Amino acid sequence: MVPCPLCDAEIDIDATEIDEGDIVTCDDCGADLRVTGLDPIEVESLDDEEEDEEYLDEDDDEEEEEWK
């Protein structure tokens, strides 16, 4: 069992059936979560990853503009 990072519901994940990088869904809130660790099992919200990527993309754009 691992807690959902968004709603804290317990998610039943069988460690023998997953790999790091797999996507699981919280049955309570419906969030898509990526498995980021296996011992212990850890998950993070895919929404968090998308926000991080957008932030990184914005930083790249700013650096590119400053360089010009």
Task: Supply the pLDDT for residue 47.
Answer: 79
Give the number of C-alpha atoms closer than 13 A to the C-alpha of residue 58, restricted to the C-beta side: 6
What is the distance between the alpha carbons of residues 34 and 9, in angstroms, rounded to a whole number? 16
For residue range 1-58, list pLDDT tens digits in order.
999 999 999 999 998 999 999 999 999 999 999 999 999 999 999 976 555 555 555 5
| Residue-range definition of the domain harbouring residue 19 | 2-67
Task: Report CA torsion sign: 44, 46, 47, 50.
Answer: positive
Sequence-separated contacts (24+) of 12-16 with Cβ below 8 Å: 13/41, 13/43, 15/39, 15/41
Task: Supply the pLDDT for residue 37.
Answer: 95
For residue 68, pLDDT over 90 is answered with no
Q: How many domains does the structure of the chain reveal?
A: 1
Instruction: Please enumerate in sequence order all residues whose Cβ is within 8 A of that of 36, keeping only pairs 6 or more positions apart, or say none.
Output: 20, 42, 43, 44
Task: Supply the pLDDT for residue 2.
Answer: 95
Which CATH number is 10's domain given?
A: 2.20.28.160
